[in-house]
Structure 1
Amino acid sequence: MSFSDEPIVSIRNANIFQDHATVLSEITFDIGKGEFLYLVGRTGSGKSSLLKTLYGDLPLRLGDIKVVGYDIRGIKSSDVPYLRRKIGIIFQDFELFYDRSVAENLYFVMKATGWKEKSKMKSRLAEVLMRVGLGSVSSKMPHQLSGGEQQRVVIARALINEPQILFADEPTGNLDPEVSDGIMKLFLEINKSGTSVVMATHNHHLLQKFPARVIKCEGGKIKDSTKENFELTGLF
């Protein structure tokens, strides 16, 4: 699909740290508005640390990164919630509240991000659950849902504030192949509506079945499939 020349993420000569160790050095690349991007590499290669830096969970000490207009280097803790209203974050282990219903899980995010009018909250809840194919589960508890359904709830939660970009860290890692394909198709539908998607994955099958641009983390550096040819085998 086509996407805007103006990047939604701009990374320039950035060093990515995990604790005090440098995991990626002097990386530079852009992510376009409406783009779908895979982030691949061996365990410990820096994929998750890069994602955490992009959404403000790890500090950026060297280099420059801009995400949806926010300068990540030196971002104030008080500005991080505003950044996260413009992005969606999806985790492998769901991170749902298992003592609350699906609706209560989503309402929690709405309240935390400034929603106040109950009628608008109820309408948005119904809208995002329908979008992810879960229109009838709002009153259910997470443990009553399958793994694939729980991941769809997580995606619905990430879509609450109509994010400009989704960051997904191994979103299909705990799911079987058929369910993973369904989740992947949902991501592609979201992407076609104009939302950028950055997905860290070990799933070689998904890259083959749903090809897109690939950034490979390896040896403290990154390689970009749009600029060079490389084999993905042996990286997972």
Structure 2
Amino acid sequence: MPFSGEPIVQITNASIFQEDKTVLNDVNLSVEKGEFVYLIGRTGSGKSSLLKTLYCDIPLHMGNIKVAGFDIDKIKRKEIPLLRRKLGIVFQDFQLLQDRSVAENIYFVMKATGWKDKSKMKSRLSNVLMRVGLGAVATKMPHQLSGGEQQRVVIARALVNEPSILIADEPTGNLDPEVSDGIFKTFEEINKSGTAVLMATHDFKIIENYPKRTLRCEKGSVFDSAATPA
């Protein structure tokens, strides 16, 4: 599938750190608008640290990263919430508020990102839940849902602000294969609507069944999996 225009993610000569340890050196890569890219590698290879750097959970000390129009190496603390409104972030461990309903979990993100009109919030809630196939769970608590349903709520929450890119860190890591397949198809549908997806995964069955461009973290570097690390 051809892509054109400015990349949604552009990384140039970046070093990625985890605390005071360099985990990736001289990273150069891009993700085009509307592209779907896998990020693979062993545990500890730097996948999660790279993703966290993209949404400023880990600071960038060396190199240049541009994400959704923001220069991560120059970004000010007050601008980070503005960046994250353009991103959808999906975690392996869901990170849902267990004492709040599905609707309240999603409203929490809306309020934190500037939503105020209650009628628009209600409409958007219905829209994102329908989009992930969960139109009837708004009043349920997270513990009343299966793992797959909870992950769909996380995806719905990530879609609230119509992000330019979804960043997903092992989104099927805690799910069985059949459920994982359904979750992945949800990501594909989101991608087909124009949202880029950058997904870290160990799920090689998914990669085999749904081949996409694949980046590998290995030996302190990131490279296209078709290439050979230096």
Q: Residues 145-164 of structure 1 correspond to what in structure 2 (within 5 A)?
A: 145-164=145-164
AA partner of residue 133 (structure 2): G
AA partner of residue 138 (structure 1): A
Residue 11 (structure 1) aligns with? 11
Question: Structure 2 CA distance, aligned partners of 1:5 and 1:137?
Answer: 38
Q: Residues 184-203 of structure 1 correspond to what in structure 2 (within 5 A)?
A: 184-203=184-203
Question: Structure 1 CA distance, aligned partners of 2:145 and 2:32?
Answer: 35
Residue 59 (structure 1) aligns with? 59
Task: Decide whether the 8 Å contact of 1:8 with 1:68 is kept in 2.
Answer: yes
Residue 108 (structure 1) aligns with? 108
Question: Structure 2 CA distance, aligned partners of 1:154 and 1:208?
Answer: 25
AA partner of residue 197 (structure 1): V
How far apart are residue 6 of structure 1 and its match? 1.7
Matched, 1:173 2:173: yes
Q: Residues 12-51 of structure 1 correspond to what in structure 2 (within 5 A)?
A: 12-51=12-51
Q: What is the Cα-based RMSD across aligned positions, in Å?
A: 1.1
1:147-188 deviation digits (Å, cap 9, x = unpaired): 000000000000000000000000000000000000000000
**Secondary structure at 1:93's aligned position in 2?**
coil
1:190-222 deviation digits (Å, cap 9, x = unpaired): 000000000000111111001000110000011
Question: Structure 1 CA distance, aligned partners of 2:210 and 2:5?
Answer: 23
AA partner of residue 211 (structure 2): P
Unaligned runs of 5+ in 1: 231-236
Unaligned runs of 5+ in 2: none
How far apart are residue 4 of structure 1 and its match? 2.3
Residue 76 (structure 2) aligns with? 76
Q: Tell me which stretches of 4 or more aligned residues in structure 1 moved more than 3 Å.
A: none
AA partner of residue 16 (structure 1): I
Task: Decide whether the 8 Å contact of 1:26 with 1:221 is kept in 2.
Answer: yes
Residue 219 (structure 1) aligns with? 219
Question: Structure 1 CA distance, aligned partners of 2:17 and 2:56?
Answer: 13
1:129-162 deviation digits (Å, cap 9, x = unpaired): 0000000000000000000000000000000000
Task: Decide whether the 8 Å contact of 1:173 with 1:201 is kept in 2.
Answer: yes
Task: Decide whether the 8 Å contact of 1:11 with 1:28 is kept in 2.
Answer: yes
**Secondary structure at 1:222's aligned position in 2?**
strand
Identity between Structure 1 and Structure 2 (%):
69
Aligned pairs, number = 229
How far apart are residue 228 of structure 1 and its match? 2.3
Question: Structure 2 CA distance, aligned partners of 1:43 and 1:86?
Answer: 28
Question: Structure 2 CA distance, aligned partners of 1:107 and 1:37?
Answer: 29
Matched, 1:207 2:185: no
The alignment's TM-score, normalised by the length of structure 2, stands at: 0.98
Question: Structure 1 CA distance, aligned partners of 2:228 and 2:203?
Answer: 19
1:31-64 deviation digits (Å, cap 9, x = unpaired): 0000000000000000000000001110000000
Matched, 1:228 2:224: no
AA partner of residue 24 (structure 1): L
Task: Decide whether the 8 Å contact of 1:4 with 1:34 is kept in 2.
Answer: no
